[in-house]
Amino acid sequence: MVDAGVGGDTGRSTGSSLRFRSNKLTAGSSFGAGNAAYPTRAGRAGRYAPAMRVAALVLAAGRGQRLGAERPKALLRLAGKPLWAHAAETLAACEAVEWILPVAPAESLAEFGPDGLSAGAREKLLHPVAGGAERQDSMRAGLSALPPAAEGVAVHDAARPLVRQEDVDRVVAEAASHGAALLAVPAADTIKRVRAERVVETPPREECYAAQTPQVFRVEVLRRAMDRAREEGVLATDDAQLVERSGHPVRVVLGDRRNIKITHPGDLEVAERWLHGDAEAGAMRVGQGFDAHQLVAGGPLRLAGVEIPFDRGLEGHSDGDVVLHAVTGALLGAMGAGDLGTHFPSSDPELEGIDSAVLLERVVAMVDAVGLRLANVDATVIAQVPRLAPHREAMQDRLRALLGAAPQTVNLKVTSTDHLGAIGREEGIAAQAVVLLRGRS
């Protein structure tokens, strides 16, 4: 296997462009007419971007430590194929993308070859290059190996295997017109800026978007931004951030919530289900959940998102809301998407003390994304103390609101153990839930 051309410190390629073709490397490329046009974004009829010959960098050097993987994350298999291959095939389906360049761990380059790829991806695949310890090191290696004819570069995380071709087409077209563009989705949660464990700002949610990839730039725009960042010793968490700092405006193209980044083990399970799209119309899926926490001095005591007056609260990494935990776990079970600890591990410091309503809302969004809807939920709170009957309707109403459900679809009951066991000894509170999900008809 041969490099596609390695440049010097300027980041410019000095070698010839090489591709895998029929499992062999051949030189050069011959992409269409130089004045082809691509539509920008949906709803802008008649607006077209000038042609831009694009190379896609598939950043695959991540180690997958949060996944607990023993091999590079990009090589983990989804539906029988490595994550990076799913991304490469979708990028290759975009007509403007002429080259696919994996940036991979140095010791694993041989595993980023054409075997198992679609014919279209094999045709556009370049010899992989070794990435570095930081994202910008990998970016610099990829930019240095770009074919000289590349006018644009689409930077994509190999760990985002579910990106849609139509979204790639739109963000490439926007970058061709404006020099820089990224996919992003509106933030579902209220965002807090935090410093030293204190909130310093709550930006308006309507102004907050979650960045995705690919992020697409004209080559010279990204190179200038990378050069400036190196001179100033700046490290960024995504590529558009560097371009923003350089003063070049970055356009936002609405992405898709299924374009998730595989980070935790549960993400693979969700991606598998989304990939197969098995939430067929009318399908019924049942899930059950259970949670219990110890009562400890202090508070507050929160159940089903309602604060209950009591001199003790529930111990837990989050706010300890056993009702919301049980319902959230039941939803995950109905999707076949693992358990609460897989998606929201207690080892994650960002989740310490988090409102359990936030976790439920995230899982409700997952239910919607896989084409399912809530048919009904039945939850039971089991507590000897405090007396919960006076709060039952408030808890049920709050649970229904968090689920976005109709009145008759959510039922919540309260009971005790008549002084039996740990709960009867007033040591804790438990909850269980059963949910029914249906495929959208």
pLDDT higher than 80, residue 291: yes
Percent of the chain with pLDDT over 70: 85
Residue 342 pLDDT class (50, 70, 90 cuts): confident
Residues in Cβ contact with 439 at an 8 Å cutoff, skipping those fewer than 6 apart: 279, 280, 281, 282, 283, 284, 371, 372, 373
Percent of the chain with pLDDT over 90: 66
Which whole number is the average pLDDT over 408-433?
97
pLDDT higher than 60, residue 76: yes
**Residue matched to tokens 């039922």:** 411
- CB contact at 8 A, 181 and 216: yes
What separation in angstroms does the CA of 1 have from each of 6, 23, 84, 98, 112?
14, 10, 19, 19, 11
Instruction: Return mean pLDDT, the chain.
Output: 85
Q: What is the pTM of this model?
A: 0.58
Structure tokens at 273: 């289900």
Distance CA 260, CA 263 (A): 9
Instruction: State the DSSP string of 246-268.
Output: TT---EEEE--TT-----SHHHH
What separation in angstroms does the CA of 6 have from each of 81, 145, 194, 276, 399?
29, 5, 42, 39, 58
Residue 69 pLDDT class (50, 70, 90 cuts): low
**β-pairing verdict for 306-308 and 301-303:** antiparallel
Instruction: State the DSSP string of 360-422.
Output: HHHHHHHHHHTTEEEEEEEEEEE-SSS--GGGHHHHHHHHHHHHT--GGGEEEEEE--TT-HH
